[in-house]
Amino acid sequence: MNKTLLAFALFLSLPCGSLCAWQLDGQKVTQGFEGFSSTPYYDTRGILTVGYGFNCNRFKKCPSPMTRLQAQILFLSIYEDSISRAKRFTGSRELWQTLLDNEKIVLTDMAYNLGNRLFKFRKLQHATRTRNQYQQIKEMKNSNWYKQTGNRPKQLIQLLKG
């Protein structure tokens, strides 16, 4: 394993004070939803998956078995990308900074789970930008994602409600 990559992953996983406590909580939430599998399996959409819900199409060869350390390093990288995607979804850094921690966790988890498909949730995006929590929940419920993703959306809505 690349020592620089390992050091970076360990740095990212260190507690960083109150400024990013929500990120640590969010990582636990997302990893809880995804679960860990060291061996590849087919997800509910028939996509070969490994680790913390990693799409094997991202790899030249799906790692099998994948160690927890390998999965954690990859997870942290993808989670950071998901935060960036969630920030873009809100439309501005200023708005992102005004969101409650639970809102950031919900949007980041959705970005992790959906990838760029998050941007298809235009009405949710508008509700987020106008700070309309009732409409946010309505738009989450009014989606195929809500119907197809088991308890995850229901739990995220509970988290959103605080």
37-71 pLDDT, tens per residue? 999 999 888 999 999 999 999 888 888 899 999 99
Asked whether the beta carbons of 133 and 162 are under 8 A apart, the reply is no
Residue 94 falls within a domain, yes or no?
Answer: yes
- Do residues 49 and 112 both lie within one domain? no
Asked whether the beta carbons of 64 and 40 are under 8 A apart, the reply is yes
Count how many domains the chain has.
2
Residue 16 falls within a domain, yes or no?
Answer: no
- Do residues 158 and 120 both lie within one domain? yes
Residue 19 falls within a domain, yes or no?
Answer: no
- Do residues 41 and 96 both lie within one domain? no
84-123 pLDDT, tens per residue? 999 999 999 999 999 999 999 999 999 999 999 999 999 9
- Do residues 92 and 160 both lie within one domain? yes
**Gyration radius of the chain over CA positions:** 16
Residue 41 falls within a domain, yes or no?
Answer: yes
Mean pLDDT of 132-143: 96
- Do residues 46 and 89 both lie within one domain? no
pLDDT the model gives residue 24? 94
pTM over 0.95: no
Neighbours of 22 (CB within 10 A): 19
- Do residues 107 and 153 both lie within one domain? yes
145-156 pLDDT, tens per residue? 999 989 999 999
pLDDT the model gives residue 10? 53
- Do residues 61 and 94 both lie within one domain? no
Residue 59 domain boundaries = 36-66
- Do residues 83 and 159 both lie within one domain? yes
- Do residues 153 and 128 both lie within one domain? yes
Q: Is the pLDDT score of 4 beyond 70?
A: no
pLDDT the model gives residue 58? 85
Residue 5 falls within a domain, yes or no?
Answer: no
- Do residues 88 and 161 both lie within one domain? yes
